[in-house]
Structure 1
Amino acid sequence: MRLFTECHNAMLWGNTLKTDLFKSRKLGYLVLLAFMMSIAVGLLLFLLDPNIHSLMDGIWSAWVTMTHVGFGDVVPTSFLGRLLAAALILCGLVFFALFTALISVTLIGRNRDTLGGGMLGLEAEENKLQGREDRILVELVYLNGRLEALEKRLAAGQSGPLANADSEQA
């Protein structure tokens, strides 16, 4: 029963992650860019490399190269074809890095929203503490003034009730 509950929770988490990822169109743009790149490079491979016999083979080769699967069934053999495939490998690394960054930003953003309520409470508590600190500082300034007045009276050889020191400071 616990396994069923955990599987259900994992499915819910996955659905909310998917929803959060698709709220922003950046993931769709990244996938679209990857498809456009594989089609364009596939066309170039078909035109430049003698080992690529059809447009679909070129697109397939570009896609498996960019995704780092590398089946090896369709491989460019010419210098330009291999140079293009090497550039596509680097582009694939960039796409995977961007994909990972998008997922990370989504997860961090979700945690930030969760923690946001706690942060508001901390800010309110900080404001209260700041007010208390200000009152303490005012009291310290007052006490410092009284202490200086008493020290002046002692230095002058005067002695008297503490109320006189208050009246001198005022």
Structure 2
Amino acid sequence: MSNAPEASANRRTTLPALPLTGGCQCGRVRYEIRAAPQVFYLCHCTECQRQTSSAYGESLRVDPASLVIRGEMATTRRMADSGAVRLGDFCPDCGVRIQHRSEGNPGRVNIKAGTLDDTSWLVPAGHIWTASRQPFVAIGPDELDYPQAPADNFTALIARWQEMVRPADGA
């Protein structure tokens, strides 16, 4: 049983009709997400701040089997503090990061949510690595807030997302 606050009505969202589509700025890389995303959260780690040139990264975790990518991407590699090798896939023409993933973990991929064609429905299930968040970013009392990576392997964030999201048909 989680002690996390329940999602309030203003923390709910409606999942658009599938597939979700997106791509890079120049259009060379395009993608479709053909199944409902597993979770959407904001990461405030310093690596995401550097990579996005912003206050945080937007991560939309999807099942890799539901993701269809058209166009060639280049990949960056870096060693995370945890020892895992992180891979970032981006358009080699315009430089926009499309996704990130961990080497040796083929079952998990995070789409950089700002690359979606329609971002109007996105509401994060929570925030991770808030110990390094920018001081001007406010986190509400009904939002999940992790100073570092969630120790529960994102279980509470995924459960919150499931509570928040409604399918496009309203069911």
Tell me the TM-score range normalised by the shorter chain. under 0.3
Between Structure 1 and Structure 2, the one with more helix by share is: 1
Between Structure 1 and Structure 2, the one with more strand by share is: 2
Q: TM-score, normalised by structure 2?
A: 0.22
Larger radius of gyration: 1
Q: Higher relative CO (CA 8 A, sep ≥ 6), structure 1 or 2?
A: 2
Q: TM-score, normalised by structure 1?
A: 0.22
